[in-house]
Amino acid sequence: MNFRLLLIGVSMLLLSCARSQENTSYRLVGGPCEGCEAVWEYEGELKPVDTLPDFNAAANKLKVSGIIYEADGKTPADNVVLYIYQTNDAGLYAPSVNASGWARRHGKLRSWIKTGRDGKYSFYTQIPGNYPGSTMAAHIHPTILEPDGKYYYLQDYLFDNDPYVEQGLSENPRGGTDGVLKLKKENGIFTAKRDLILGKNIPGYE
């Protein structure tokens, strides 16, 4: 056998094993979560700030920012991935052409953000619409991936001006806040803040 082909084959096998080991290090906590594994689908280097598709053309532009804290609620959490996805202003999870993976279900309005040492995050997007014909509160779905591989969903981002906002509230909100964004408009963009606490109200979290 050609030595070069053998070397390539061995390299591919090692890479496959490494990826398999990486995947098995992930650990879902807090109960079942359909689609939470989309938190792994990012490519390239992540940053603390990102802009979702269609932001510039959106009628109701939105900037959300905050700090992610460790479980003590005081220490900024470094190297934490926050995955978000949402509907468009028509309340639909509209995918891009040739979408693959969870993008076929979650649509193109999604993003991955990774905190730095200060725990801060921000994302630019649009205010989502309510599901057509429903009384469910408009929302943005967040999923957390911690550096040690634990991942879980949090209480949705909700909106204080939504007539159905109470439908989305929880008695023990995951992440430590009720998720309701208090919107302010600055320079044509709605802004809001929400801090998050790792593991807060997550069943089985260690």
The total domain count for the chain is: 1
Note whether residue 202 is domain-resident. Answer: no
Query: 105-132 pLDDT, tens per residue?
Result: 999 999 999 999 999 999 999 999 999 9
Question: What range does the domain containing 120 cover?
Answer: 3-197
pTM over 0.85: yes
Note whether residue 141 is domain-resident. Answer: yes
* DSSP sequence for 81-126: EEEEEE--TTS--PPPTT--TTHHHH-S-EEEEE--TT-EEEEEEE
Note whether residue 7 is domain-resident. Answer: yes
What CATH number did the domain enclosing 35 receive? 2.60.130.10
Note whether residue 121 is domain-resident. Answer: yes
Note whether residue 44 is domain-resident. Answer: yes
Query: 74-95 pLDDT, tens per residue?
Result: 999 999 999 999 999 999 999 9
Note whether residue 41 is domain-resident. Answer: yes
